[in-house]
Chain A
């Protein structure tokens, strides 16, 4: 059994893990990345379409190209990378138990960066009735089959859910000669980005059926058809609209869930709205020295934002680990706890990251959030009680787009954390 020691151990070698590791290394820490797959890059490796990097690199890249730029930097930076290595336990004391073909590894870490990404919601989670045949799979698995394994999942495809992966796959499968019969979305609006609706559906004449869902799965041992139906404003099925569509494949693109089972083993508390850890403005969880970033923290729509977030977490993790090490050598006391003030969603907002801020703060703080429903004309209002800390200009908002506002330290440093909390609202402007 191998025993190893690092200032920072990054769990997951996708875009979040690589960016965090690079910044941690740059900050002066010794860094390891533990990656379960046989190469770095995570899910980017199967995202062979373009559209990555527009904001971070100011150029349009494919997923593998975006990943490669970071893989090369990681290789040059002197970061220890453990591939085909699976973390199976993480303790609150930041001991990482992992395994690979050579045996078991135990890593002691000064700080941890959680960067495990997310998983797809399944048929079971939304309880679609019917038979349980072959031919029902998540969009991401289909992407793996087509782009990496070089296998068709079927010929006649129905897609449930208008998440970005489903939209991308509608185009991909069409280009590979499969027939995509339609995309069905329960909600009255699309869940994916506007550019994907346009580039992946409209340009290929693939119909998007809003307020429509799959109500029955038909056929055994293989899928033969699905029943779809329209839903009313309460999302209840309208019986007379039921319609059977012959197909051999149903792709599910019905949402992503941060993968936090390992985080929970370490005692990290989760936000029930995001299924990701509760974090402060440094992306520190409520377990000392454990940080989180990327899709394990909350599901992002753009990898560029993941990279920015991960750089922040990587820097913070390295600073934490190095300060703790220095404190241990100099035998000074622990870091003094500053005051905190809670921040959370108000009107029309689903969640915020972070959920608490440390005051006093020296620098502007970035708050990320999503709206719960599309709003044509609305403004962001951040306030503590009656004090307005930030007010945006009127604009349109969509749940598919992650929003960000910057808060000035001057505004929040005057708050009394135990008595006041901050809410982020998006108010309709008539």
Chain B
């Protein structure tokens, strides 16, 4: 049985950011993720906005962590080579009442330390967004706001953590935790047992259940569900700016969000739910998104929707909508990074630093590594290369000359890279998150069979064992005719 100084439970953007932070120190760390890939819970179910931090109430934990985390992103994107764009945010007011809210957000933002905020008028908005609704009167403009693909960030964190010695283990749902007399923990997964001195609970929507495994009942959680839409890259009059309406009490409202790869996301609704597993889309939610975005962009072509998806924001109940980042009151050495609802993406880097300080306070000796490598190499992105570079790459390896996904121009070489990458892609959706194969307008109608064949060949598995995402999501059954192989 392997003993670690730290075991992180949960491989979302929070857990992987913590893993990378821990990898900077002379510690042994493992991350256990229940899913077949990292970044497939709340991390993949949001719009990817790195909120700059004008929303949280000044003085709250969220306020401090949000701004600090968001400020880390530009440097992180350079070090870890993930995609980032800087579209800025408009929070749009349509009335005098809205203007009062915008002024309050401006004040919050200034108090929280957000840079370059300003209230702008309709003319200034329309200079940037000519197709904006005529009813839009003013906006809080946050020019520093960025957008990322959160799952790409989580993969980058995890790969870099792994390069610095962290064990990243997928398909390892923690089923039991025991606090032993010597203060250490014993953890069971269906196939393995682990021991560790400290646990970091970054289990997203399931953090309360994980805590309960070791007898902690400090909080209860429920998911706040959101529907989201993805629109085609070739949509005309695409927004250049993230645009929210004036916010409500529990939600920032329905926004249009330019993405790193040139799509537009519309999201998201916000409805408290009981079922933590039902990451479903709901018809009223989808309609609310279309109606909501039309209030901002009346001409947006809903015919360009290529996908609907959903996410569950992990909410700790009776916690003022705040994060719950603390050492357990009852079980020493058990650190919660729970209730990481919005702005979880923005906050992740700072949550990791907060957890580091909590571990330090809890008695873990944090000695920096001398050989820590903060950089992650960029995976080959064929589509982004010049024609001469593309030609040279194909001459070097003909697999880069075979297009698998025509919508997003993804080559077989890139898919093979993903399968044999530091955090290996073993499912169709894992390939999609790393390479974009299947993420385009045909939604894998043309490439699914090719990707299944490549996965089967590279992993030495029969095609009937290739999953879409989670265990049990096989895409194909047995052969139609037994005689033909």
Contact = CB atoms under 8 A, between A and B. Distances in A.
A240 interface: no
Contacts of A358: none
B402 A101 contact: yes
A334 interface: no
B279 interface: yes
Interface string B456-485: 000000011001111111111111110010
Interface residues of A toward B: which range? 35 or more
A261 B277 CA distance: 37
Interface residues of B toward A: which range? 35 or more
Interface in B394-438: 394-395, 398, 401-403, 406-407, 409
A101 B448 contact: no
Interface in B268-283: 277-283
Nearest to A221: B473
A127 B443 CA distance: 13
A378 to B, nearest CB: 28
Interface in B350-406: 387-388, 390-391, 394-395, 398, 401-403, 406
Contact of A264 (B234, B286, B446, B476): B234
A153 B286 contact: no
A150 B481 contact: yes
Nearest to B278: A131
Interface in A135-152: 135, 137-138, 140-141, 144-146, 149-152
Interface stretch (A51-59, A73-81, A118-126): A118-126
A351 B335 CA distance: 64
A410 B307 CA distance: 50
B281 A129 contact: yes
A152 B479 contact: yes
B286 to A, nearest CB: 5
B449 A129 contact: no
Q: Is the interface of A mostly helix, strand, loop or mixed?
A: mixed
B474 A134 contact: yes
B305 interface: yes
B309 interface: yes
Interface in A74-126: 84, 86, 88, 97, 99-104, 106, 119-120, 122-125
Contact of A151 (B278, B402, B463): B463
Contacts, number: 143
B318 to A, nearest CB: 30
B432 to A, nearest CB: 12
Contact of B472 (A130, A138, A152, A222): A222
B3 to A, nearest CB: 33
B41 to A, nearest CB: 13
Contacts of A264: 234
Contacts of B468: 133-134, 221
A1 B481 CA distance: 44
B305 A141 contact: no
A176 interface: yes
A152 B394 contact: no
Given A36-B406, A104-B394, A120-B445, A221 B480 contact: no
A175 to B, nearest CB: 10
A280 B402 CA distance: 35
B234 A152 contact: no
Contact of A153 (B310, B395, B476): B476
Contacts of A138: 445
9 contacts: A1-B387, A119-B442, A122-B442, A129-B308, A130-B280, A141-B448, A149-B453, A153-B475, A221-B470
Given A103-B391, A125-B305, A146-B480, 14 more contacts: A1-B387, A86-B403, A86-B406, A97-B387, A101-B394, A104-B390, A119-B445, A129-B281, A137-B445, A141-B446, A151-B480, A153-B476, A215-B283, A220-B470
Pairs A-B, 3 closest by C-beta atoms: A221-B473, A124-B307, A134-B473
